[in-house]
Amino acid sequence: MLAFGFGLTIAIAACGADNSGPVDPTSPDTPVGNYSITTVNGKALPVALFDVQTPSLYRLEVTSGALNLTADGKYTVVTRTRQTITGNISNFVDSTFGTWTRAGTQINLRNAEDTSAKSTGSWGGLQLTFVMTDDSVTTTYVYKK
């Protein structure tokens, strides 16, 4: 779980903001604002990232998540997961923060706690999409305002 949480935190980490355009967070002309995870790998939440039935039961699900981009170039991400191990359920909250920048439709995030941790997503109006690859596993997170 720690490896997943760290990977997810890195994947959604941040860098400073583009000062052009409006700063109205409800405007599709700026990425500034609050977003919620709507899908992971094209599936509505909750969605299993891992689901191992044998030799022991293990399931890890994303249950909710939020991403906030502020006009001063800062970001926060909070992701909630549920882990089930042989019928025992645990809920976790992972969070990270840092700075963000924009280059056209690209959003770059840089984690404040680990500045080497960077993530790049695409922005389109009221939606942010982050595609993360960990070893050979690719996971796509879609956030909407």
Q: Round the average pLDDT of the chain to a whole number and report it.
A: 84
Q: What is the reported pLDDT for 134?
A: 81
The answer to whether the Cα torsion of 12, 95, 117, 28 is positive or negative is: positive
pLDDT (tens digit per residue) in 25-43: 556 789 999 999 999 999 9
CA distance 56 to 76: 35
Give the domain range for residue 37. 2-144
CA distance 44 to 2: 24
102: Cβ contacts below 8 Å, ≥ 6 apart: 17, 18, 31, 108, 123
Q: Which two tokens stand for residue 52?
A: 């191992």
CA distance 36 to 140: 14
The answer to whether the Cα torsion of 14, 142, 34, 62 is positive or negative is: negative
How much is the pTM? 0.79
| Structural domains in the chain (count) | 1
Smallest CA-to-CA distance from 98 within 42, 12, 8, 15 is with 15
